[in-house]
Homo-oligomer: A and B are copies of this chain.
Amino acid sequence: MENSGAQGEFVETPIAVRYAETDQMGVVYYANYFVWFEVGRGAWCRARGFSYREMEAEDGRFMTVAEAICRYKAPARYEDDIAVRTYAEASKDKVVRFNYEILNKATGRLLATGSTVHVVTDANMRPARIPDRYRPLFGLPRR
């Protein structure tokens, strides 16, 4: 599931396009790529050895989205086998950035690229420190 790429290590997760995700243009509706990004983030966390569900439930820390970008290059269609490649970097203490590539697995074609920027917050959406045990996972020095 993991590999080295131009942007460093990524985690790849497969997605089969659902009928629900298409629109009347016959392709995947543009907002759904952001759902796929979220699936990629979750897979990235699990590949790093933790679950985002536990980070919320046990540590009371949330990765609140501050920015989301997607650039669309080619359409995805119903039943296409898609790969989401997720790269992460913690640029600052309370900020985590993910980059994504969406590919058609059969053709290898790059369908979209994107990124999301997250502020680590508590349950009340106030900025909060990344818990120490997650710091190395995000490439931050231990405290």
**Interface set of A (CB-CB < 8 Å, partner B):** 16, 18-20, 22-27, 29-32, 34-35, 38-39, 42, 51-53, 56, 62, 64-72, 75, 77-79, 116, 125
Contact = CB atoms under 8 A, between A and B. Distances in A.
Given A18-B42, A24-B25, A31-B38, 7 more contacts: A23-B24, A25-B62, A31-B31, A31-B68, A64-B72, A68-B70, A68-B72
A20 B34 CA distance: 9
Contact of A34 (B16, B31, B42, B77): B31
Contacts of A22: 23-24
A72 B67 contact: yes
Given A18-B39, A20-B38, A30 B65 contact: yes
